[in-house]
């Protein structure tokens, strides 16, 4: 083996032909010292496998650094050739390698009977990095991932005793997704090395060229590109998740962590505003701990996703096809689709998501499907973009909804779950169309003259939410839809009061113009600070919300018994938020009023305690502030 003084990881390398114990000690040091997005070995992995994982990681790390950390490309290629020559000595009887990393790897190859191919395939990818810096289309990128990433997953399966084709197929989905997530995370780093892994065809489809990447031109086109790439990559992660059900329970958590961690990288790109041209998003320690916590919960509590795997294999070519787009990523099974809906709901950190855990699995999945649809529709109107593109986006969702109800669910990853939910719980589709109409109002209506006009908007964006959820909760009393609509409006009014300042900054005024005039409040006053006139205005709207809460709360007694605790917790959460706003004298301008997760969990636990749901779900108000508000709503439900 040629000397490698330029590699930092060679500093602590033992001498050639060292003992297996020295070699494995180095491999263990390297695996715990070198930075990665995720730990190579978690404490959840069976101890008997730790050293084998260290040994394989050391090989992969050295192979990668030989290709990536040696400045002279010709020398890097010579080193990779020499590295492969010595690798093959492991498989020659009576010879054996001299490099400490390969000595350690020899122990694992013999113990686990691993063929040479995955090790050699990795080296092919690292050689390719020396001569290929651009990829014309998805086929070329996926071919590269087949050598750079998929062998790693197959090596993990060999270490765990699995050698079958089905597990390897699912592993390939996950590993390719991990590689792609790393590409989108590392656009800036790779650019500095002269490489662009984003397919040039994908750039062109968003009006970009490679010079836009080289010159770091960040604009709406790049944001749209990243959204498209992330949607496709998530579809691959979801398609690979069934692998967690096909491995031993002692390994399941670690396998799931890789997928969850990769999806968290995608989440971090979104949270950073998609600008990976300028900086590299990373996972915080808190995020990593959260991933471990969720994986542990899924290990202790039965999965929220049914046990069936995909009805038909999803190919990477389908996901990345130029004919596909961010709205058409893969024909997922309902099971995988529900998993994606759960991810969207979980990532939102909404008060609703925590409350879902009080429900049976089927109802919990259904609410996640409803939430995912509503979240994605809402995002169309809220995210940056011109009016025409937003209108087209909402029209596309309307068309996809109709297609899904008709049995064509391949247009988006959430649609199989949504269609299953609509059918299973007999939800009228007009509620979903009304919700899309509400999102369209956000595009064209900047203010509301009267409370009647505002209540029409609130019905569309919130009353419909209550009505769809009601069908999942289950009910028999014909009065129940009217009560659900009123609760939805109460929740929405609470949000409107809390978000007055933020909405004003976005150019939206939801408070009725007649009420602003009544209290002498001007539109520009809604950005704060709090004035006596603003306090009186918000107090009026709060009284309307309280009246709606009082009228809708009896619904707790009308839904199925297994849903009462969840509904009770939702009412208590939102009414507590409104009570807290009152306690602050309606100062929603100096800071955002909110509840902690621990408070929300407390309400859910309290609601599940025997008999608690029979008590008043409404939060206690400070003092007696109530006065007649004259709320009058036209009934639409039924």
| Tens-place pLDDT, residues 11-42 | 889 999 999 999 999 999 998 875 454 455 65
Question: Where exactly are the structural domains of the chain?
Answer: 1-131, 132-331, 445-638
CA 123, chain centre distance (Å): 32
pLDDT score of 633: 46
pLDDT score of 469: 94
Alpha carbons 469 and 618: distance in angstroms, whole number? 19
Task: For residues 284-304, give the mean pLDDT.
Answer: 47
Which residue blocks in 425-552 are alpha helix, DSSP H? 430-444, 451-458, 464-473, 480-498, 500-505, 513-518, 532-552
* Alpha carbon distances (Å) from 552 to 211, 510, 555, 608: 58, 22, 6, 20
Q: Which residue has the higher pLDDT, 354 or 260?
A: 260
| pLDDT single digits (tens) 380-439 | 887 766 788 788 889 989 999 999 999 988 888 899 999 999 999 999 999 999 999 999
pLDDT score of 253: 75
- Taking a C-beta distance cutoff of 8 angstroms, is the pair 396, 364 a contact? no
pLDDT at 292 over 70: no
- CATH topology (fold) of 1-131: Farnesyl Diphosphate Synthase (1.10.600)
Alpha carbons 561 and 487: distance in angstroms, whole number? 18
SS3 (DSSP) at 480: helix
DSSP 174: H
| pLDDT single digits (tens) 434-461 | 999 999 998 888 889 999 999 999 999 9
* Alpha carbon distances (Å) from 542 to 151, 162, 180, 553, 623: 59, 60, 48, 16, 14
Rg value, the chain, Cα: 28
pLDDT at 520 over 90: yes
pLDDT band at 260 (very low <50, low <70, confident <90, very high): confident
- DSSP secondary structure of 306-367: -S---SSPPPHHHHH-TT-BTTB-----HHHHHHHHHHHHHHHT-HHHHHHTTS-HHHHHHH
pLDDT score of 337: 87
CA angle, 220 then 226 then 231, to 5°: 130
CATH number of 132-331: 1.10.600.10
| pLDDT single digits (tens) 577-628 | 999 999 999 999 998 888 777 776 677 666 665 555 456 788 887 664 444 4
Q: Which two tokens stand for residue 132?
A: 């290929």
Peptide bond into 551 cis (omega under 30): no
pLDDT at 490 over 90: yes
pLDDT score of 302: 43
pLDDT score of 605: 67
| pLDDT single digits (tens) 535-545 | 999 999 999 99
pLDDT score of 309: 39
SS3 (DSSP) at 178: helix
Kindly report the three-state secondary structure assignment for every residue of 396-445. Answer: HHHHHHHHHHCCCCCCCCCHHHHHHHHHHCCCCCHHHHHHHHHHHHHHHC
Task: For residues 62-76, give the mean pLDDT.
Answer: 90
The predicted model scores a pTM of 0.65
pLDDT at 273 over 70: yes
CA 327, chain centre distance (Å): 16
SS3 (DSSP) at 71: coil
pLDDT at 635 over 90: no
Alpha carbons 105 and 108: distance in angstroms, whole number? 5
pLDDT score of 638: 44
pLDDT band at 113 (very low <50, low <70, confident <90, very high): very high
Strand partners, 328: 325
- CATH topology (fold) of 445-638: Farnesyl Diphosphate Synthase (1.10.600)
Alpha carbons 240 and 154: distance in angstroms, whole number? 13
Strand partners, 325: 328
Can 1-131 and 132-331 be said to share one CATH topology? yes
Q: Which two tokens stand for residue 161?
A: 């005793």
């Amino acid at each position: 083996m040629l000397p490698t003084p330029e590699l930092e990881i060679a500093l602590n390398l033992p001498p050639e032909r060292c003992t297996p114990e020295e070699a494995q000690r180095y491999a263990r040091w390297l695996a715990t010292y070198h930075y990665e997005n995720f730990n190579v070995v978690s404490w959840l992995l069976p101890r008997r496998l730790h050293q084998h994982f260290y040994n394989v990681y050391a090989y992969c790390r050295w192979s990668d650094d030989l290709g990536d950390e040696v400045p002279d490309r010709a020398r890097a290629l010579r080193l990779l050739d020499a590295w492969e020559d010595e690798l093959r000595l492991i498989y020659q009887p009576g010879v054996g390698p001299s490099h400490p990393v390969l000595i350690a790897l020899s122990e694992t190859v013999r113990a686990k009977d691993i063929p040479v191919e995955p090790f050699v395939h990795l080296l092919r990818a690292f050689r390719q990095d020396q001569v290929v810096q651009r990829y014309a289309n998805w086929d070329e990128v996926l071919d590269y991932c087949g050598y750079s990433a998929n062998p790693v997953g197959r090596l993990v399966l060999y270490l765990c005793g699995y050698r079958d084709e089905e597990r390897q197929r699912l592993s390939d989905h996950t590993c390719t997704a991990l590689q792609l997530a790393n590409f989108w995370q590392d656009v800036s780093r790779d650019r500095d090395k002269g490489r662009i892994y984003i397919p040039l065809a994908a750039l062109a489809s968003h009006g970009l060229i490679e010079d836009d990447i080289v010159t770091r031109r960040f604009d709406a086109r790049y944001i749209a590109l990243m959204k498209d790439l992330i949607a496709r990559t998530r579809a691959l992660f979801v398609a690979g998740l069934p692998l967690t059900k096909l491995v031993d329970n002692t390994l399941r958590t670690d396998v799931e962590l890789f997928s969850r961690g990769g999806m968290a990288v995608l989440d971090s790109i979104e949270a950073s505003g998609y600008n990976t041209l300028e900086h590299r998003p990373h996972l915080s320690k808190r995020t990593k701990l959260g991933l471990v916590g969720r994986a542990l919960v899924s290990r202790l509590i039965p999965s929220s996703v049914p046990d069936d795997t995909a009805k038909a294999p999803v190919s990477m070519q389908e996901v990345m096809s130029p004919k596909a787009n961010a709205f058409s990523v893969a024909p997922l099974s309902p099971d995988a689709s529900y998993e994606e809906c759960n991810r969207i709901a979980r990532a939102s950190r909404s008060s609703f998501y925590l409350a879902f855990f009080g429900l049976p699995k089927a109802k919990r999945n259904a609410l996640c499907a409803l939430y995912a649809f509503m979240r994605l529709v809402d995002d169309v109107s809220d995210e940056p973009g011109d009016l025409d593109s937003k209108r087209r986006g909402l029209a596309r969702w309307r068309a996809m909804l109709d297609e899904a109800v008709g049995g064509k669910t391949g247009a988006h990853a959430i649609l199989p779950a949504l269609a299953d939910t609509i059918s299973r719980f007999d939800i009228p589709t007009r509620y979903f169309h009304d919700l899309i109409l509400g999102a369209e109002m956000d595009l064209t209506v900047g203010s509301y003259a009267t409370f009647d006009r505002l209540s029409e908007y609130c019905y569309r964006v919130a009353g419909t939410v209550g009505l769809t959820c009601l069908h999942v909760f289950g009910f028999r009393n014909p009065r129940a839809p009217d009560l659900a609509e009123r609760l939805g409006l109460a929740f929405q009014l609470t949000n409107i009061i809390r978000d007055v300042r933020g909405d004003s900054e976005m150019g939206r005024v939801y408070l009725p113009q007649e009420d602003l005039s009544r209290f002498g409040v001007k539109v520009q006053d809604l950005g704060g600070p709090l004035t006596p006139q603003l306090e009186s205005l918000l107090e009026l709207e709060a009284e309307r919300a309280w009246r709606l809460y009082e009228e809708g709360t009896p619904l707790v007694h009308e839904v199925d018994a297994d849903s009462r605790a969840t509904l009770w917790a939702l009412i208590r959460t939102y009414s507590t938020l409104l009570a807290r706003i009152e306690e602050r004298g309606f100062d929603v301008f100096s800071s955002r009023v909110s509840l902690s997760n621990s408070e929300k969990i407390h309400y859910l636990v309290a609601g599940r305690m025997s008999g608690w749901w029979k008590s008043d779900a409404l939060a206690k108000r400070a003092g007696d502030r109530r006065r007649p508000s004259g709320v009058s709503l036209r009934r639409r439900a039924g």
